[in-house]
């Protein structure tokens, strides 16, 4: 099999599509078959997004990988058994039934390895993945060497052939999406508790094992139904990438699931449309690359967890520390002029903390006030670390504006007395 990996939806175009074609495709006006594919791919994205979010929270992302590889021996043995029994060996329901059974067996094997041996989850996943896929590969070579009919069609399950999706697939995907949404709504509380605190779930009487089984069953469902479209290597991306991208935008489970479904739908929609419009763009790969692009954008640009936001926060914190250090040292030793960069002096002047731009400029009223507060914080924290060293590490936050925000009044009074007793003067916060 050379490079009949996955056909584009339309092989006829050789140049860029016209705007009219683009508009028709994305508004679902370019023929029934194309519509079915685009709708089915978007629905697959939604299902993968919702169920993948559960898998991510449960840290089961790679279980999906093992599971999708584990479907291959099921597909090949279903093919062999069906041809031996004289049935149509290419019948999709038979092949998918085989895929489901061996997928479940794979998950079961991971569970057995984790329960009865000392091997860790990563090894269990790797063993099941490689051994099941190995069995599948051996059976493929059996088919090639014995069966009269060729096994070429089976390769679509490995690399995927989105163009083969029909209205029936769209309906199947729609059903799975409905099931996933229903379960997400009904079992939301239980799933959330199991994901975040398994032992708490057990104590409150939530059957954690059952919930786990439910999540795994849903993963099997999505994997098997998406096999033919995206292929067994890439289907795992539909479960992993959308929730991982959504995770950057929110800390709330509900929102995570909704965003993840949206990202999955968007990837499916764009991927299938691009594949329909451009030549030689296998839809499975394009869908995954769309999801990957959304992941990269999320990782860079998300407001709090994104890389850019983190860098900005880091820079701001550094600046704040530089300002505080300068003010504290100018307040404490007015004759001594700490080394400052020009931009820092501009900033201090703009904020009204200094009277001029010169390095030896005196502090303004508000600068003195601020410097006094920083000095006081510094001294209190210092004394706190000295006198309460045993509890200190968990209760230190240097970046806090006032120590009062963290420690209670009694403790601060005590610390102030200790500082006075050691002969130093405690700065008052009042001007």
Partner 1 sequence: MISDTLRQYISFDLFPLISAICVALSCGLIGNHLVLRRQSMMGDAISHAVLPGLVAAFLLASSRSPMVMFLGAGASALVTVGLIELVKRLGRVEPGAAMGVVFSVMFALGVLMLEQAAADHVDLDADCVLYGQLETLFFVAPTEWNQLFSVGTLNDIPTQVSTLLGLTILVIIFKVALHKELRIASFDPGLATTQGIHAGLITVLLMVMTAACAVASFEAVGSILVIAMLICPASTARLCTDRLSTQIKLSALFAITAAVIGYILASFVPEMLGMPSSLNAAGMISVVAGSMVALAAIVSPSHGLIAKSFRQRSLRKTVAIEDLIGLLYRAKETGTPRSTISSIAPAMNTKDINQVIQASTRQGLVTQTNNSLELTGAGQAAGAKIIRRHRLWEGYLVDQANIRPDNVHDIAEQLEHLPTDEPDSDTQTDPHGRPVPPHSD
The CB-of-140 to partner 1 minimum distance in angstroms stands at: 7
- How many alpha carbons fall within 13 Å on the CB side of residue 103? 26
- Which residue, 60 or 373, has its beta carbon nearer to partner 1? 60
- Which residue, 31 or 292, has its beta carbon nearer to partner 1? 292
- Which residue, 135 or 344, has its beta carbon nearer to partner 1? 135
* Nearest alpha carbon to residue 268 among 243, 246, 242: 242
- Which residue, 118 or 336, has its beta carbon nearer to partner 1? 118
Radius of gyration of the chain (CA): 31
Q: What sign for the dihedral angle of Cα 86, 88, 94, 99?
A: positive
23: alpha, beta or left? (left if phi > 0; alpha if psi -120 to 50): alpha
Q: Is 90 exposed, middle or buried (0-12, 13-18, 19+ CB in 10 A)?
A: middle
The CB-of-272 to partner 1 minimum distance in angstroms stands at: 14
* Nearest alpha carbon to residue 179 among 132, 214, 226: 214
Q: What sign for the dihedral angle of Cα 312, 318, 319, 321?
A: positive
CB atoms within 10 A of CB 81: 13
* Nearest alpha carbon to residue 321 among 347, 359, 303: 347
- Which residue, 75 or 415, has its beta carbon nearer to partner 1? 75
Start-to-end C-alpha separation, the chain: 82
The CB-of-144 to partner 1 minimum distance in angstroms stands at: 8
- Which residue, 113 or 220, has its beta carbon nearer to partner 1? 113
The CB-of-44 to partner 1 minimum distance in angstroms stands at: 15
- Which residue, 42 or 298, has its beta carbon nearer to partner 1? 298
Q: Which residues contact partner 1 by CB under 8 A?
A: 1-3, 5-6, 8, 56, 59-62, 64-65, 113, 116-123, 125-127, 129-131, 133-138, 140-142, 144-146, 155, 158-159, 233-234, 236-237, 240-241, 243-244, 247-248, 279-282, 284-289, 291-292, 295, 299, 305, 307, 310
The DSSP H or E segment spanning 315 is helix 307-332
* C-beta contacts of 25-31 below 8 A and 24+ residues apart: 25/273, 25/276, 25/277, 26/269, 26/273, 30/276
The CB-of-76 to partner 1 minimum distance in angstroms stands at: 10
- Which residue, 144 or 343, has its beta carbon nearer to partner 1? 144
The CB-of-250 to partner 1 minimum distance in angstroms stands at: 14
CB atoms within 10 A of CB 131: 16
The CB-of-240 to partner 1 minimum distance in angstroms stands at: 4
The CB-of-379 to partner 1 minimum distance in angstroms stands at: 34
The CA–CA distances, whole Å, from 355 to 26, 45, 358, 362, 429 equal: 61, 60, 9, 6, 22
């Amino acid at each position: 099999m050379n490079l009949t990996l996955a056909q584009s939806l339309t092989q006829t175009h050789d140049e860029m599509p016209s705007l009219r074609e683009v508009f028709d495709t994305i508004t679902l006006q370019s023929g029934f078959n194309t519509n079915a594919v685009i709708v089915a791919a978007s629905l697959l994205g939604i299902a993968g997004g919702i169920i993948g979010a559960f898998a991510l929270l449960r840290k089961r992302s790679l279980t999906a990988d093992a599971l999708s590889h584990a479907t291959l021996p099921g597909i090949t043995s279903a093919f062999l058994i069906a041809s031996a029994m004289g049935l149509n060996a290419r019948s999709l329901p038979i092949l998918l039934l085989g895929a489901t059974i061996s997928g479940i067996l794979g998950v079961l094997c991971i569970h057995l390895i984790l329960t009865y041996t000392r091997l860790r989850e990563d090894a269990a996943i790797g063993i099941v993945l490689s051994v099941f896929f190995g069995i599948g590969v051996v059976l493929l070579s059996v088919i090639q060497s014995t069966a009269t009919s060729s096994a070429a069609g089976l390769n679509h399950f490995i690399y995927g052939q989105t163009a083969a999706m029909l209205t029936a697939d769209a309906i199947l995907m729609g059903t799975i999406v409905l099931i996933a949404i229903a379960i997400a709504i009904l079992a939301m509380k239980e799933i959330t508790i199991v994901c975040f605190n398994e032992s708490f779930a057990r104590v409150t009487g939530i059957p954690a094992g059952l919930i786990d089984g439910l999540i795994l069953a849903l993963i099997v469902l999505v994997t098997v139904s998406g096999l033919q479209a995206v292929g067994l290597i890439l289907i795992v991306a539909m479960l992993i990438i959308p929730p991982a991208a959504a995770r950057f935008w929110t800390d709330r489970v509900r929102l995570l699931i909704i965003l993840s479904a949206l990202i999955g739908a968007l990837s499916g929609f764009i991927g299938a449309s691009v594949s329909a419009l451009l030549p030689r763009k296998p839809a499975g790969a394009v869908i995954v690359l769309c999801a990957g692009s959304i992941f990269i954008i999320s990782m860079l640009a998300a407001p709090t967890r994104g890389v850019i936001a983190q860098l900005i926060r880091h820079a701001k914190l550094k600046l704040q520390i530089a300002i505080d250090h300068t003010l504290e040292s100018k307040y404490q030793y007015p004759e001594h002029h700490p080394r400052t960069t020009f931009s820092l002096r501009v900033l201090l002047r703009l904020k009204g903390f200094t009277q001029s731009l010169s390095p030896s400029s005196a502090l303004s009223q508000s600068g003195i006030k601020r410097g006094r507060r920083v000095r006081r914080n510094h001294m209190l924290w210092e004394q706190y670390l000295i006198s309460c060293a045993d509890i200190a590490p968990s209760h230190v936050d240097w970046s806090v504006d006032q120590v009062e925000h963290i420690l209670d009044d009694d403790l601060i009074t005590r610390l102030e007395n200790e500082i006075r007793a050691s002969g130093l003067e405690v700065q008052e916060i009042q001007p």
